[in-house]
Homo-oligomer: A and B are copies of this chain.
């Protein structure tokens, strides 16, 4: 580990603009020093990515698939070194990273499989009709082609699965786009290790220089400059609403605005309907507690708003939940910044709503915080829109609603969400059909009798949602559909077969699914 950026095939210089990771358990700095890239180095990465755009984008899908598999193999080959470093930089348990590594490598291999199969390009062919009246019909063929170089911002809360070789990088590389990753300052050592795994795959597979770079940056300037750079054609980001919006605004002000896929802010409203509470209040209390405190509450899908029927109908649910939370020890958040935000936001909430917690965990060293639960009425919630704001960390807000009408009014006023969850039985689903119709306009994923944390990586997953959940509600950051975020449709009219991409050649040499003259065939 030498703490310098990966500028194409070379390493960045050691600069005076340095930073370190911290051990969240103690708050102490952790070696080594990391060196912010210079603006010249950033310019070089952009120039190299631009130069790699056509040669990398024109590689056959199966070649890119081998490259992605090789990245996964190299990450696994890092062995315990990677797991230990990630644990050191985050204080999240080893087991979490063994799981997150499996997910990260699984994602890379899922996209490799997608490329091997090949149909993701959505090839369409309409054959010519030269004698059509009044005008001949031309031969028209189209498919997804790569969008161009992508800037990927690593996420604080997923040091592997949404960082250097995480979902955004995997889907961008799969689509045929060079990637410039910007390491998160909370886990630069993890980033460097994964960066070395990607760089080795680039070298072993003779990928063009500029296919991958990794930038260390202490502040925001380099990332912002990259989003404004004309070589960059799309942005992937997972982080705060403020950070994501800042990048959206920079991208929108460019001479040529580019798409930003920012996954930002979601309070994941969770509705505990009457029959659910009545029938299995104890299981709901245990499940909610696990969902709110898992990963120390640092998942974008953490349930941040929980709606209950009137208190009288809640049985022992509330006392069960209070007991779970009170018995949960303090745990460190990822960074001092996140800890401060958690404490400040919690303090700001206390005069507004009742602190329902009786947690007195004493060990608040490092970046540790206590879990908490707030409680209020629907009427108060409707009066105070700021209660919709996300608090990143192990806390949630319970809202007691006295009527279905209150719930509908609240649902109509919700911002965009990654998820909305409904706990009930089939009778509740009928009774609350209008609530579900509203939630469908608000969220990317609707969950029945489950909690929102835990995102299955599969072809049908949608991890997206209207603003501010994401910057682009049409897309998903998880699952195989994520690849089309980094692709654009290109159409070839009257091209000779030999000059067409393989996906569009008449004989279908890749054996992919295509829409030919309006019919799906393979």
> Which B residues are CB-close (under 8 A) to A134?
99
Q: A140-B458, A494-B449, A496-B429 are in contact. Are A474 and B147 (CB under 8 A)?
A: yes
Contact of A450 among B119, B138, B253, B518 (CB under 8 A): B138
Is the beta-carbon distance between A126 and B490 smaller than 8 angstroms? no
> Which B residues are CB-close (under 8 A) to A520?
119, 513, 520, 522
Q: A252-B248, A256-B467, A259-B474 are in contact. Are A458 and B499 (CB under 8 A)?
A: no
Is the beta-carbon distance between B54 and A437 smaller than 8 angstroms? yes
The answer to whether the Cβ of A489 comes within 8 Å of any Cβ in the partner chain is yes
Interface residues of A in 89-132 (CB under 8 A from B): 99, 119, 124-126
Contact of A256 among B124, B446, B466 (CB under 8 A): B466
Give bound CA distance, A520 to B480, whole Å: 14
Give bound CA distance, A436 to B58, whole Å: 12
What's the minimum C-beta distance from A252 to chain B, rounded to whole angstroms? Answer: 4
Question: Please, which residue of chain B has its CB at the minimum distance from the CB of A485?
Answer: B474
What's the minimum C-beta distance from A258 to chain B, rounded to whole angstroms? Answer: 8
Give bound CA distance, A443 to B490, whole Å: 7
The answer to whether the Cβ of A487 comes within 8 Å of any Cβ in the partner chain is yes
Is the beta-carbon distance between B256 and A416 smaller than 8 angstroms? yes
Q: A437-B54, A456-B137, A459-B515 are in contact. Are A446 and B492 (CB under 8 A)?
A: yes
Contact of A249 among B252, B259, B445, B473 (CB under 8 A): B252
Question: Please, which residue of chain B has its CB at the minimum distance from the CB of A498?
Answer: B426
Is the beta-carbon distance between A58 and B437 smaller than 8 angstroms? yes
Q: A147-B473, A471-B257 are in contact. Are A459 and B54 (CB under 8 A)?
A: no
Is the beta-carbon distance between A141 and B460 smaller than 8 angstroms? yes
> Which B residues are CB-close (under 8 A) to A145?
440
Give bound CA distance, A220 to B249, whole Å: 24
Interface residues of A in 404-429 (CB under 8 A from B): 415-416, 426, 429
Is the beta-carbon distance between B454 and A126 smaller than 8 angstroms? no
Is the beta-carbon distance between B249 and A446 smaller than 8 angstroms? no
The answer to whether the Cβ of A355 comes within 8 Å of any Cβ in the partner chain is no
Is the beta-carbon distance between B461 and A140 smaller than 8 angstroms? yes
What's the minimum C-beta distance from A277 to chain B, rounded to whole angstroms? Answer: 18
Give bound CA distance, A436 to B499, whole Å: 10
What's the minimum C-beta distance from A149 to chain B, rounded to whole angstroms? Answer: 11
Is the beta-carbon distance between B54 and A448 smaller than 8 angstroms? no
Give bound CA distance, A472 to B491, whole Å: 15
The answer to whether the Cβ of A213 comes within 8 Å of any Cβ in the partner chain is no
Is the beta-carbon distance between A499 and B459 smaller than 8 angstroms? no
Is the beta-carbon distance between A489 and B476 smaller than 8 angstroms? yes
Give bound CA distance, A48 to B395, whole Å: 38
The answer to whether the Cβ of A353 comes within 8 Å of any Cβ in the partner chain is no
Is the beta-carbon distance between A140 and B460 smaller than 8 angstroms? yes
Question: Please, which residue of chain B has its CB at the minimum distance from the CB of A57?
Answer: B441
The answer to whether the Cβ of A188 comes within 8 Å of any Cβ in the partner chain is no
Contact of A445 among B119, B257, B443, B493 (CB under 8 A): B493
Contact of A490 among B119, B462, B515 (CB under 8 A): B462
Question: Please, which residue of chain B has its CB at the minimum distance from the CB of A499?
Answer: B429
Give bound CA distance, A215 to B256, whole Å: 30
Is the beta-carbon distance between B58 and A460 smaller than 8 angstroms? no
> Which B residues are CB-close (under 8 A) to A448?
492-496, 499
| 20 more CB-based (< 8 A) A-B contacts, given A449-B494, A450-B494 | A53-B441, A138-B450, A142-B461, A148-B441, A248-B252, A252-B252, A256-B466, A426-B499, A436-B499, A440-B490, A445-B490, A445-B492, A446-B493, A446-B495, A448-B495, A450-B493, A460-B515, A474-B484, A474-B489, A475-B489
29 pairs across A/B with beta carbons < 8 Å? Answer: A54-B437, A54-B438, A124-B459, A125-B460, A138-B456, A140-B458, A140-B460, A142-B461, A142-B462, A148-B441, A252-B257, A256-B467, A256-B468, A257-B471, A259-B474, A429-B496, A429-B498, A433-B499, A445-B491, A447-B494, A448-B494, A449-B494, A459-B515, A459-B518, A460-B491, A461-B491, A473-B488, A476-B489, A513-B520
